[in-house]
Amino acid sequence: MTKVSQENPIAIALHGGSGTILPSHLTPELEAAYRKSLQEALDFGWNCLAEGGSALDAVEIAAKSLEDCPLFNAGRGSVFTANEEHEMDAAVMCGRNRAAGAVAGVKTVRNPVSLAREVLKDGRYVFLAADGAEAFADSCDLERVDPKWFFTEERHDQLKAAREEAGMVMDHDGAQSTKFGTIGVVALDQKGDLAAATSTGGLTNKQFGRVGDSPVIGSGTYANNETCAVSCTGYGEEFIRSVVAHDVSARMEYLNEDLDTAARAVVFEKLPKINGIGGLISVDAKGHVSLPFNTEGMYRAWRTSAGDSGVEIFGE
């Protein structure tokens, strides 16, 4: 069994999207599959932290596990745009030095979160999009795939259903969309560094070129060692307008709120004022986690060196 240092706390939390997630929407087999995938990703990230790995490594490892799972709206399970393509977005951020990397409109990189990590490591830029992101990927040692690799029949059915509903569909809303979700991971390592990662395929039937909050530093993804690390999930436009991820950190810094108070204020008080729906996962510099959401459910999992852990799907 992996041993965890008792000198400094470690913690990790992850999400697989929020939305209309009800017990009646999932068969026992599908619920078990979700829980298994969430637990596997959690274990990958936790083992990295427990062995002394960095928070950045942990969030990338866990996020890649979720990207490779077709149950979630990221990587392999990404949704279709209105013109029947996949455009994937991702971001990572390091709380120690506020270094960040983000990509949008990626089409051939198997794990967009790893491309975002490469942007962070390169250091010249923060955000690369579309053809520019693909060109940058050409210089990286990352696995590339034919766009057909991202195709799943369930996602194609979801696109057809969204067209019939004449609109865009969030991760877990709509007739054919109760099975999928944006993914995100936050972590605290033994050195006291925080990190966050978020990855998504966006909204089903979205206008091609649309970018949501996930890769936007401060809106969908944020990390600061002085406060917290945050990854969001929901309707991206409202999360961008509210600068949600940074607002949690700002409330902790300027109002001296604890993590849970700040996170819940943003999700339950600020977002509803502009009809914002969704949730977030967060961890602070002391290893506390907070995972509030204002939807019926959010796929989520967490573990801390204080002994707190769980894998949950539905509302409390």
- The answer on pLDDT for 131 being more than 60 is yes
Given this model, what pLDDT does residue 179 score?
37
State the pLDDT at residue 1. 40
Residue 89 near residue 216 (C-beta atoms within 8 A): no
pLDDT at 203: 85
Average pLDDT value for residue range 10-39: 93
Domain total for the chain? 1
- 234 is known to lie in a ligand binding site: yes
For residue 212, say whether it is annotated as part of any ligand binding site.
Answer: yes
pLDDT in tens, 243-287: 999 999 999 999 999 999 999 999 999 999 999 999 999 999 999
Distance CA 309, CA 260 (A): 16
Comparing C-alpha atoms, which of 109, 121, 15, 110 is closest to residue 59? Answer: 15
Q: Indicate which CATH number applies to the domain containing 92.
A: 3.60.20.30
Is 213 within any annotated ligand binding site? Answer: yes
155 in a labelled binding site: no
Q: Is residue 84 part of a domain?
A: yes
pLDDT tens sequence across 56-111: 999 999 999 999 999 999 999 899 888 888 899 999 999 999 999 999 999 999 99
Nearest to 150 by CA among 111, 208, 184, 114: 111
Exposed e or buried b for every residue in 123-149, given b needs 16+ CB within 10 A?
A: eeebbbbbeebbebbeebebeeeeeee
The answer to whether residues 35 and 27 touch, using CB atoms and an 8 Å cutoff, is: no
Q: Comparing C-alpha atoms, which of 40, 64, 22 is closest to residue 313? A: 22
- Beta strands 221-223 and 228-234, pairing class: antiparallel
For residue 259, give both structure tokens. 């993590």
Q: Is residue 267 part of a domain?
A: yes
Determine contact, residues 194/83, Cβ cutoff 8 Å: no
**Crossing angle for the helix pair 112-122 and 130-137, to the nearest 10 degrees:** 80
Is 202 labeled as ligand-binding? no
197-255 pLDDT per residue, tens? 999 998 888 888 999 999 999 999 999 999 999 999 998 999 999 999 999 999 999 99
Q: Quick one: pLDDT at residue 191? A: 98
DSSP one-letter code for 134: H
Catalytic residues: 182
CB 285 within 8 A of CB 192: yes
At position 105, the amino acid (one-letter code) is: G
Q: How confident is the model at residue 176 (pLDDT cuts 50, 70, 90)?
A: very low
- The verdict on whether residue 236 carries a ligand-binding annotation is yes
Reported pTM: 0.93
Q: Please, are residues 50 and 104 in contact by the beta-carbon 8 Å criterion?
A: no
Question: What CA–CA distances, in Å, run from 142 to 115, 137, 176?
Answer: 7, 7, 32
Are residues 71 and 35 in contact, defined by beta-carbon separation less than 8 angstroms?
no
CA distance 184 to 198: 4
What is the residue-averaged pLDDT of the chain?
91
Q: Residue 170's pLDDT band (boundaries 50, 70, 90)?
A: low
The answer to the question of residue 22 being in a domain is yes
Residue 169 pLDDT grade (very low, low, confident, very high; cuts 50, 70, 90): low
> The domain containing residue 167 runs over which residues?
11-303
- Residue 211 counted as an annotated binding residue: yes
Cα(82)–Cα(76) distance, rounded to whole angstroms? Answer: 18
